[in-house]
Homo-oligomer: A and B are copies of this chain.
Amino acid sequence: MNNWFKFLYLPVFLFFLSGKAQEKINIGEKQTLFSKVLNENREIWVHLPKTYGDHTISPAKYPVIYLLDGEINFEYYAGMTDFLARTPYADIPECIVVGIKNTERTRDLTPTKSQKKSPVNPNLSLFADSGGSENFVKFLQEEVKPFINKNYRTQEYSVLAGHSFGGLFAINTLLNHPDYFNAYVANDPSLWWDNKVLISRTKAYVEKNKKFPAKKSLYVSQADNGERQKNWNSDMTEAIEEFKEIVEKNGSLNYKHRFFEGEVHGTVSYPGNYEALKFIFNGFRTDIKQLAKNPELLEEDYKKLSDRMGAEFTPSEDYLNVVIKFMKSNGFKESETYFMNLKDKYYSKK
């Protein structure tokens, strides 16, 4: 063996050795795309649901959740969607999660150029680089979404989820481009931004359009920033509550507002994101035990759900397999046959 040969052989050997000793648990993959709109490389983190690569079922399509502040939220969010979509208790369909990692966060997520004195030290100016949200939403709509739709099997239903400036961005996107996403999640949104510019925009929107578009969902969580931080966040609380009043009075949006006692600005995303998905997909869960006696209920439930969501949802092959197995192992012969036929109807291989 010559020396060069040994040199090459070593890393191969080490790779297999370390690969065996520690099998890694992966929840996603990082993709980098160059954005012409933003003129920079952007990293996105993609999580695929459990059945995505399951070759025993027909290739399925999945709704997509676009998650802002990816580097902070991606890991728990990916696990959360899998858990929430776990048969037979699924509250939501299995989803693809796309986390967007920040570069210039304030620039991308804020709707106007606006500076502010630091509430802690008035000699400091904050947010010099701001007001780029129209560019950033263009990047999402014209670059990220086509990339995801091209490279992954996606269903035409998408959610935009953000926190703080990301929540501000989500609400601004709903006002400016309500057709871009089906559902919007805003956790403790920074509606205080630029003298509450989004409150003015919301009022203007309602005045002009009368109603929010049908079958869109918006979930807003509000943190318990309370007395302790009164000097820091009181205009935040005020703005969120003003927004709530306008939207609730208008009444046309599938809207939920939730105040979380004991959660502060930096922690509220976690329970907020969980409840938001349960709210958006409310009606998705079907009771497998009821289906034993009333199998027609499944398609009825899915029809209702699709009507409410403004998008077609059908029972997944994976769920039908669970239902069939349940009927079989518990001796519900008729229902077993019913669901075998239903599975054929949706997933028979031609």
Please tell me the size bucket of the interface on A. 35 or more
User: A4: nearest residue on chain B (CB-CB)?
Assistant: B5
For A124, list chain B residues within 8 Å (CB).
329-331
Kindly state whether residue A24 has any CB partner on chain B within 8 Å.
yes
B292–A120 touching, CB < 8 Å: yes
**A124 CA / B289 CA spacing, docked (Å):** 17
B76–A80 touching, CB < 8 Å: yes
Copies of this chain, complex-wide, total: 2
User: A99: nearest residue on chain B (CB-CB)?
Assistant: B25
Tell me whether A229 and B23 are in contact in the complex, defined as CB-CB below 8 angstroms, given that A9-B8, A79-B75, A79-B76 are known contacts.
no
A75–B232 touching, CB < 8 Å: no
B29–A26 touching, CB < 8 Å: no
Kindly state whether residue A338 has any CB partner on chain B within 8 Å.
no
Kindly state whether residue A78 has any CB partner on chain B within 8 Å.
yes
User: Which residues, 31 to 89 on A, are CB-close (under 8 Å) to B?
Assistant: 31, 45, 47, 72-80, 82-84, 86, 88-89
**A77 CA / B27 CA spacing, docked (Å):** 13
Tell me whether A76 and B86 are in contact in the complex, defined as CB-CB below 8 angstroms, given that A12-B8, A22-B30, A331-B123 are known contacts.
no
For A86, list chain B residues within 8 Å (CB).
72, 266
Tell me whether A78 and B80 are in contact in the complex, defined as CB-CB below 8 angstroms, given that A8-B9, A45-B25, A232-B289 are known contacts.
no
Q: Would you give the 0/1 interface string for A306-338, flagging 1 where the beta carbon is closer than 8 Å to chain B? A: 000000000000000000000001110000000
Which of A173-181, A249-257, A267-275 lies at the interface with chain B? A267-275
Kindly state whether residue A287 has any CB partner on chain B within 8 Å.
yes
A28–B30 touching, CB < 8 Å: no
A267–B89 touching, CB < 8 Å: yes
For A5, list chain B residues within 8 Å (CB).
5, 8
Kindly state whether residue A150 has any CB partner on chain B within 8 Å.
no
User: A268: nearest residue on chain B (CB-CB)?
Assistant: B89
Query: How far is the CB of A228 from the nearest CB of chain B, in Å?
Result: 6
**A214 CA / B265 CA spacing, docked (Å):** 34
Tell me whether A91 and B31 are in contact in the complex, defined as CB-CB below 8 angstroms, given that A8-B12, A12-B12 are known contacts.
no
* Partner among B12, B45, B271 whose Cβ is within 8 Å of the Cβ of A274: B271
User: A330: nearest residue on chain B (CB-CB)?
Assistant: B120
* Partner among B12, B73, B77 whose Cβ is within 8 Å of the Cβ of A11: B12
Seen from chain A, the residues whose Cβ lies within 8 Å of a Cβ on chain B are 5, 8-9, 11-12, 15, 22-31, 45, 47, 72-80, 82-84, 86, 88-89, 91, 118, 120-121, 123-124, 228-229, 232, 262, 264-267, 270-271, 274, 278, 287, 289-290, 292, 329-331
- Identify 18 new A-B residue pairs, CB closer than 8 A, beyond the known A72-B83, A76-B82: A8-B8, A8-B9, A12-B12, A23-B29, A24-B30, A25-B29, A25-B45, A25-B47, A25-B75, A27-B27, A74-B79, A83-B270, A89-B264, A121-B331, A124-B331, A228-B290, A232-B289, A262-B278
